[in-house]
Each structure stands twice: as structure tokens, then as C-alpha cells.
Chains A and B, each alone.
Chain A
């Protein structure tokens, strides 16, 4: 169970956070949310798709990390096998919470850095401290602060982007079959509909930068081949590893 607290230099002065990636920390996810501001960096290492939130039915941008539940092909012996790491992976164990402040007598919701102190990354011995000896923010916490800010804005960006894709009917569902795994529930850009957009629609999409996002998503599909290769290599290694010993008789 998680235990979320507002980060402060009294309660969390001595806390440290282990920052290497590991399935022990829950990094073994096959899919993670991403934001349009990341698309440029993501597109030459990850495959960007869209997926519906099961609760709300709202679309969101995601990258595919594996083909089966709990499979993360970017995670190898506690190393992250890519230059860029999605913000949503980077943020753990921190999250944005809202606290109420009174501003001139009017209550206001203010975004603030929170931490899940029950997260397995959190301890007192190893990793990065949150605070300097005398209570100032560590470089790490400053960095986390900007990650969370990017996520905070990213949600709104992504929502607006998705609404635009729906409006112009630019989404289509994609089914992936890799070996025995079939992935459903993923969506990508409908290129036929994109080609048929008229000048004013293209202009509107271009004005807000969405045309670039769209092409980044399309370009990212090229990474699918690499991801499949990683999976096939893993399978091969596993089967070599598991192949029965030759009979000695």
C-alpha cells in the first residue's frame, strides 16, 4: 500500500531514493504514459501509441515497453536500455499532489511535490538524498521538481492533443501480434484520414504544433521492429538456456 506525504525537510530530511531501474521497484511495466512534449526524444527509441484509460475512456499517449503483462524489454539487469527515459518512469516514487493554500482569504489548490514513502525505492541508506544537510533542496529534488512540472503540464497538453485527433478522426485501432502475444486496445494515427485532411484542418493542426506530434508518432512506428528483435533475442537466449542437457548415455 502506498503512503503519500507532502515532501518537506522535517519529515523527509534523511530520506534517500534509489534511482537505478529494477523490476523490484515496479519498473517491469509493459506500457507507460507519455506526453507530447516528449515525442521528439521518444520517437527514435520507443513506439508511441494511444490507449484508452479503462476508468474514464479518455485517450492518452503511451509507449510500448513490452508485449506481455509485466514485460519491459527496456529493462535489462537493472539497466535502462535507452538514452531517453519517459517522465512517467523517471518520476517514481514522487507524484503531484494538491494542497490547499489560502490566498487573500480565498482557498486555492496548489500543485506540490509528494512522495510515496512506502515505495521500495525509499530508504535511509542508499541513493540520492532529497535534502542537503541544512535543509536545502538537493540537486535531485530540484530535478524531480521539474519532471513533475513537465508531467503536470503534459497531462493537459495530451488531453488537448487527443481531443484534436478525435475531432479530425485521426485515430484507428491497431492490433499487434508478436509470437503468441496479441495486443489489443492500442490506437495509432489513421494515415488515410490524415492524407484526406483539407488545407484548413492541416493549418489548424500545424498552428498548435500537433502536425509535428502526429508525424513523430508515425515515425516512432519504425521502432516496433527493434522492439520485436529484442523480444526474439530474449526468447532465443532463454530457450538456449533452458534447452535440456544432452543425454550422457
Chain B
């Protein structure tokens, strides 16, 4: 779930220094030759140097966008901005040659289909280049209790009748789960089917879907597309200094061997290093560890059982005594990792639990050295957009791998910046204030929604679960739970119109975990019995039809490898 190491063991070489005011002034005058204060004068970043001359009265237009960091965050943001604004802006991306990627599989949301289309990458190219697979949602296994096996789905399609406010009223059946009753994708995931037919054109399917992908390969594909198709200037170098006072806008950054790169808007995608937002501006990190205890993961990649075995079309998330294990199937391998809280578990024990899971899955035992350890501090930046610097990706926030919220936050941020690209610095003040309100809300909602998974658990096998269940419940979550004890969750209960986790998602988790709403007053629609029967019949019909017609996930992936996905 991580594209960059937050790990102290693989730090980016950072020697930030503030340049003297004189040096900065010289550069701001835009004399290219004098501006080159360091290193290789034959460098090819003429775009940034030439455009530097347009600089830098306080109300100049924003045309030079500089992105620091070349993981998924950096390249996605570069792609979204460059594809939308074309020649009107210069996008330069600076990435270090020395960053190791973690490269465990990663899950996306259905939003990624839209993002890829906006950037102009075909689904066929994406699937083939990124070793990608289809994801229809998540399956949560044994989250309910530690005594009896249980599982439930959180599929990507809305529960039937959700929009009309009916889904939560449909009487629970004893033999069908909420998701199975109201979403065909639960049945399809059980049968390891793909969400689309071989004849469904690119980015369309029979159910809503996202992807599982190889994050490393994804960044490479985006890089190729951004530099070759979208004219994003690419500089491979270390950012060693920031030009500008930490109380004012950033004017540029200096690098080891290239000329200084000047800009109007800086996007910090440097991951855990947070070169600009943290090292330069010192914007505080709001740790959420009192709410979400997990701060570590051990992860490994293992080959499939065989070249014919099923490929799951959902992320498997299996609760453990002191955390949970993700299991993401790509066409060629599975990415499996144990997320845990270092306060309660040692790395050693976590690794043993991981190996035990792998063994139980019937997979071959990986080498001990192949298991990588990832450390993180769950939280987000107090101010995400400060002055002319906006943090995107892990420099902005990271909670934990649950529900794959990392990439979607990047997509949302990139889309927001693109759609509200400031004209000038006065405009930027308003845009940044609004951005900060919006994304602080997103992070808070994500914290609440992730916490929900733990709060509803009855697992009693460790102190970890007792504390995760009972301590640090955010106010917004406890209020919702109090509300839903006496009325069923409806779409309007979340007042923010574009909340990243809608009430539909809450319904899947709540009813998947057996949450009970005590309804004393009748609020049912008229003819509800016939209506509910109709809803279930149509879901059932669609589920069965899919079972007859949909290829298995593996068969469709093989077909895409051989024939691609039709464009029309």
C-alpha cells in the first residue's frame, strides 16, 4: 500500500538550507547564466529556467508548477494537471534517483478509471503495464469475533435501493448477508469472477470496479506517459535546498547537479520525507495514533499456487489477534502484509503470523529476507496547502492500508488542484483555504470510517482489540453510531455532499458486522413488503445472470493480455 518508504532506514538525502536573500534575488532577476549557482550548467531543464524570468511579483500568474517526488503521488498529480491544462502551464517533476519503493500491491477505488481516462492512458495499456487486476471491493474476514469464523463484503456498487432510501430497511435474511442480498458483486466475488465481460469496452463493466496494481510499475507507466505524451519536464536529482523564507512563498528549489528550479506552485509529493511541507515549512503532523493504533506492517510478495488458480477480484482483509492481514491478488502474484501496532506486537511475532497465514493459504513460504518492514505514523498534515506549497500523498497524510484510501486521496487532491488551479497568488489564498477545509474534512471522515471497522468488532482475543474498540472514538463517529442506533443510515446523514465514504459504505460495514438499529416507529415506505421483494429479486436475477455470463477474473486478465480491451 506504500509507494515510498517512510522508513527511517531508507531516508532521502536531505540537506536543506536556506539560501541567502541575495542569492535568491539574483535568481529572481531571471538572468539564466547568473542564476545557475550550482553544478551542471549544461542541464536540460531550460523550461524552468526560461520561465523563471516571468517571475515573480506577488500577483503574477501561476504557470510554473514544480512537483517534488516521483512516486504514484507525484506522477499522478503531474499527469492530471498536465493533461487538463496542456500548454498553459509548465509542469516539472523532480525525483531522487535514490528512493527505494516498497512495491507491495496496492488497491485503487473505482475513481481510478476516471483518473486514467482524464490522463489519457488506455485501460489495456494500464492493465498490461501495471500487472493490474480487477477489484470489486473488499472482503472482511473474522472481524466480527475471534470465536466463530465470519466474513462480509464491502463492494464498490451501491446497495440496491440505496438512492431511494430503501436499502437499510430491507429485512435481514438469516442465510444471506446484507451485501449478498443487495449487491450482485458479493456473489461474483465469491465465484472469483471479473466485474466485466470480454466485450465490455474500456472502463465499463457489469459492476463498479477499481484495480489491484503493482505500484512500482504504475509509477513507471505514469512517468513514461507524462514525459512522452504530456510534456512534463523530468529532472532526476536530489532537492537540497529551498529558495524563499519559511514565512513566505517558495520561489524555487536547488538541486545537486541541476540549475535551480523556480516555480509558482510547489507540490510536495516527497512521501514521508515531506521535504517542503515539513522540512521547510514545519507544518505539524496531526498524529491519529490515539484513534488508529496501527503503525507498522510487514509485507511480502508470493507467487500464486498455480498458473491456473483463481484470482480474487476483491481485497481480502483478515483480522488477526493483533491487527489484520491484507491479501491482494495480481495476475502474477499475491501481495500479502500484516498491519499491526508496535505498542502491542513485535515485528517478530507479526512476521510469524504472516508466514502462518501464507501457509494456511497453501502458498509457498517466502524467504525471510523478502519480508519488508514498513513503519508509519498514522495521521495527516495540520495544513495541507500552506503558502504556495500543497502536500499530496504520504507527505499530506497516511492512516493505514485499510480500505485503500491512499491513492484515492491523491486522485482527489490532484483533481481539486487541477480544477481550481490558482490564477495568481491572491486567488491562491482563497483556493488554499478552501482546499484545507475540504481535505481536513476528508481526512477526518477517513479516520472515522476506518475506526468504524474496529469499533464494531466483538473480538476478545487481545488487549489490542479491546482498546481499538473502546478508546479514541472520534466525536463524528460516535455521534453517527448514536444516531443509527435508533434510525437507519440514510444518504443525507453525512452533510458533506462529496464525502469520500458515503453512507452506502457505512451500511455495508455496519450490517456486515451485524449492527442493529432499533426501529420502534414505522418509517417504512408504502407497500414495502412487495417493494423489498422486488429489490431482492432483481439483485438476485442480475447476480445469477452475471454468474452465467461473466468470465473468471483470471480468464479475463488472460484475454486482455492476448487481445486487449475493446476501445469502442
Which A residues are closer than 8 A to B by beta carbons? 52-59, 166, 171-173, 185, 187
Which B residues are closer than 8 A to A by beta carbons? 197-200, 549, 551, 559, 562-568
CB distance from A238 to the nearest CB of B (A): 30
User: Do the beta carbons of A57 and B549 come within 8 Å of each other?
Assistant: no
**Other A-B pairs beyond A57-B199, A57-B564, 4, CB < 8 Å:** A52-B566, A57-B197, A173-B568, A187-B568
A166, B565: Cα distance in complex, Å: 12
CB distance from B364 to the nearest CB of A (A): 32
CB distance from B554 to the nearest CB of A (A): 13
What are 8 A-B residue pairs whose CB atoms fall within 8 Å in the complex?
A56-B198, A56-B199, A57-B198, A57-B559, A57-B563, A57-B566, A58-B566, A166-B568
A53, B566: Cα distance in complex, Å: 10
User: Do the beta carbons of A57 and B565 come within 8 Å of each other?
Assistant: yes
A172, B559: Cα distance in complex, Å: 23
Task: Count A-B contacts at CB 8 Å.
Answer: 37
Secondary structure of the B side of the interface?
loop
A59, B200: Cα distance in complex, Å: 12
User: Do the beta carbons of A55 and B566 come within 8 Å of each other?
Assistant: no
By a CB distance below 8 angstroms, the chain A residues around B562 are 56
User: Do the beta carbons of A55 and B559 come within 8 Å of each other?
Assistant: yes
A143, B568: Cα distance in complex, Å: 38
Chain A, Cβ-Cβ closest to B568: A171
By a CB distance below 8 angstroms, the chain A residues around B567 are 166
By a CB distance below 8 angstroms, the chain B residues around A172 are 568
User: Do the beta carbons of B197 and A54 come within 8 Å of each other?
Assistant: yes
By a CB distance below 8 angstroms, the chain A residues around B198 are 52-57
Interface centre among A57, A58, A172 (most CB of B within 10 A): A57
CB distance from B120 to the nearest CB of A (A): 16
Chain B, Cβ-Cβ closest to A190: B568
A17, B199: Cα distance in complex, Å: 35
CB distance from A187 to the nearest CB of B (A): 7
Chain A, Cβ-Cβ closest to B196: A57
User: Do the beta carbons of B568 and A54 come within 8 Å of each other?
Assistant: no
By a CB distance below 8 angstroms, the chain B residues around A166 are 567-568
A205, B568: Cα distance in complex, Å: 21
User: Do the beta carbons of B563 and A58 come within 8 Å of each other?
Assistant: yes
Interface centre among B200, B551, B568 (most CB of A within 10 A): B568
By a CB distance below 8 angstroms, the chain A residues around B564 are 57
User: Do the beta carbons of B559 and A56 come within 8 Å of each other?
Assistant: yes
Chain A, Cβ-Cβ closest to B200: A57
CB distance from A86 to the nearest CB of B (A): 21
By a CB distance below 8 angstroms, the chain A residues around B566 are 52, 57-59
By a CB distance below 8 angstroms, the chain A residues around B549 are 54
By a CB distance below 8 angstroms, the chain A residues around B559 are 55-57
By a CB distance below 8 angstroms, the chain A residues around B200 are 57
By a CB distance below 8 angstroms, the chain B residues around A171 are 568
CB distance from B209 to the nearest CB of A (A): 16
A17, B198: Cα distance in complex, Å: 35
A232, B81: Cα distance in complex, Å: 55
By a CB distance below 8 angstroms, the chain B residues around A54 are 197-199, 549
